Structure formats: C-alpha cells, structure tokens
C-alpha cells in the first residue's frame, strides 16, 4: 500500500468516526428511554451503505477505503455489544434481546437492500 492509500484510511476513518458520533448523539437526543437507538441507526445505515458499495463492485483499493476506513469506523460492533450487556446488567432483558434481534435482522435486510441498490445502479 502506498502513502495515498494510508492517507485515505486516516482521513476517511476520521470522518467515519465523527459521523458516527454526530448521528448517535442526534438520534439519542430525539429518543427517550434506555434503548440504544443511536447505535442502532448508525449500524443499520452503515450496513445499508456497505451493502450498496458491495453491489457497486468497486475496485479493490476503493472498496477497501470506503468499506473498511469510512464505514468500518462509522459502524460499531463493540458499542452495540457493550450497550446490550449494560441492558442485561440493568435487568432489561427484553431490551437487550430486542437490541440483538433487531440489529441482526434489520442489519441483514439493510445490507441486502443496499447490495440490491448498488447492483441496480451498477447495471447488474
């Protein structure tokens, strides 16, 4: 990998992390309760975009930058798991189970929808 690719990882990774923070905070301000809607919105939108990028069949380095650097830093598995564990500790088992079920099922649907859209744009 060359300096341009590493620079892209640095810039896009930073942009993805900042976007995650802004989206999460924006959603959290609009929702009440203990369910982590901000993380859910971030991860579902990230799955949609990553599916779209996959459907476009981008060149390897472009896909690496967009998928890994930008979307990888935007989405967050660790926060999702931490929030689920916190819900369990707070004896909110229904919220914890819903967080897992909704995130996985809607995430798969979002990725599939994104891939379908990307393939449609790409002419496949």
Tokens in use for 97? 């189970």
Give the pLDDT confidence score for residue 4 in this predicted structure.
Answer: 86
Instruction: Delimit the domains of the chain by residue range.
Output: 3-123
Tokens in use for 16? 């993805």
- The three-class DSSP label of residue 35 is coil
Q: Which tens digit of pLDDT belongs to each residue from 16-34?
A: 999 999 999 999 999 988 8
Q: Is 75 annotated as a binding residue?
A: yes
Helix or strand run (H / E) with residue 81: helix 77-89
User: Model pTM greater than 0.85?
Assistant: yes
């Amino acid at each position: 990998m060359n300096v341009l690719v590493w620079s892209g990882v640095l810039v896009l990774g930073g942009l993805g992390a900042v976007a995650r923070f802004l989206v999460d905070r924006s959603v959290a301000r609009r929702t009440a309760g203990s369910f982590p809607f901000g993380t859910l919105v971030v991860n579902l939108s990230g799955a949609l975009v990553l599916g779209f990028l996959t459907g476009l069949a981008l060149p390897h380095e472009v896909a690496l930058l967009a998928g890994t650097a930008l979307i990888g830093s935007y989405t967050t598995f660790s926060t999702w798991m931490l929030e689920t564990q916190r819900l369990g500790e707070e004896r909110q088992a229904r919220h914890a189970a819903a967080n897992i079920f909704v995130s996985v099922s809607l995430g798969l649907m979002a990725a599939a929808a994104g891939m379908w859209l990307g393939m449609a744009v790409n002419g496949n």
